[in-house]
């Protein structure tokens, strides 16, 4: 029994040798790949065929717009699909990309709401969703403790600006929406904030 186990271990090393990324997909990246495929399923139009490479025949770290850590486990750290003409909704599955630092989906045709699950991404640093047709309210991003830049301008967002904002936010761009209410007093506690824009809303 011990000999069999040892042989299986050695065989595993031989298989993985020279194919580290493939092995990484088996141990630690399954959730990321499934989450990205769910995101793809929510896309109804991909005019530039930007997601053509998103399939099981290749590792998700080699898919267009996807960048991963360069060490094991090979987790997704960036998703950049800027100006791809994508139409659909932003899948809540992106909230499972727990190593994600940069989410850039501006200048597309995304509709629906911003998934509240994005508020679980505590490593997220940059969230760019500008120039889409997103509706609903801005979800709580208080748990995105490392968020530095929030760009939600030129959408159709409604409701109030959340009072529970990340403490290290440096840029907050919200112009050209349908936001209402007042500017939250808690904004004064974010001492590193250097860009704040809510022009062309219905702020009191």
pLDDT at 19: 39
Q: What is the CATH number of the domain that holds 86?
A: 3.80.10.10
For residues 64 and 20, is the Cβ–Cβ distance under 8 A? no
Q: What is the pLDDT of residues 185-202, one digit of tens each?
A: 999 999 999 999 999 999
- Using CA atoms, how far apart are residues 6 and 55, in angstroms rounded to an integer? 33
179: tokens are: 């936001």
13: tokens are: 């090393």
184: tokens are: 């939250």
182: tokens are: 């007042």
Q: Answer whether residue 149 is part of any domain.
A: yes
Q: Answer whether residue 20 is part of any domain.
A: no
Total number of domains constituting the chain: 1
Give the number of other CB atoms < 10 A from CB of residue 146. 15
pLDDT at 73: 82
Coil, strand or helix: which one is 112?
Answer: coil
Its domain, for residue 170, covers: 30-197
Q: Answer whether residue 9 is part of any domain.
A: no
Q: What is the pLDDT of residues 131-163, one digit of tens each?
A: 999 999 999 999 999 999 999 999 999 999 999
105: tokens are: 């989906």
Mean pLDDT of 28-36: 88
Length of the chain: 204
Q: Answer whether residue 178 is part of any domain.
A: yes
Coil, strand or helix: which one is 60?
Answer: helix
pTM of the model: 0.86
- Sheet arrangement for strand 43-45: 43-45, 87-89, 109-111
Q: Answer whether residue 76 is part of any domain.
A: yes
HSE-up (13 A, CA, CB side) for residue 142 = 7
For residues 100 and 80, is the Cβ–Cβ distance under 8 A? no
Q: Answer whether residue 95 is part of any domain.
A: yes
Q: Answer whether residue 49 is part of any domain.
A: yes
Q: Answer whether residue 5 is part of any domain.
A: no
Nearest residue to 130 via CA among 149, 144, 145, 116: 149
Coil, strand or helix: which one is 178?
Answer: strand
């Amino acid at each position: 029994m011990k000999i069999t186990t040892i042989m299986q271990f050695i065989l595993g090393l031989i298989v993985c040798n020279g194919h580290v990324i493939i092995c990484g997909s088996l141990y630690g990246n399954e959730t990321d790949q499934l989450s990205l495929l769910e995101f793809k399923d929510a896309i109804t139009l991909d005019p530039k065929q930007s997601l053509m490479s998103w399939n099981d025949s290749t590792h998700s770290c080699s898919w267009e717009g996807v960048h991963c850590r360069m060490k094991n486990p090979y987790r997704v750290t960036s998703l950049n699909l800027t100006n791809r003409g994508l139409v659909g909704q932003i899948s809540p599955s992106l909230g499972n990309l727990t190593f994600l630092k940069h989410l850039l989906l501006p200048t597309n045709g995304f509709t629906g709401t911003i998934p509240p699950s994005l508020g679980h991404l505590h490593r997220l640093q940059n969230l760019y969703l500008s120039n889409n047709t997103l509706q609903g309210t801005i979800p709580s991003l208080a748990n995105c403790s490392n968020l530095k830049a929030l760009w939600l301008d030129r959408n159709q967002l409604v409701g109030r600006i959340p009072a529970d904002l990340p403490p290290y936010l440096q840029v907050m761009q919200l112009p050209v929406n349908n936001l209402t209410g007042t500017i939250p007093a808690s904004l004064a506690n974010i001492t590193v904030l250097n860009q704040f824009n809510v022009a062309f809303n219905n702020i009191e």
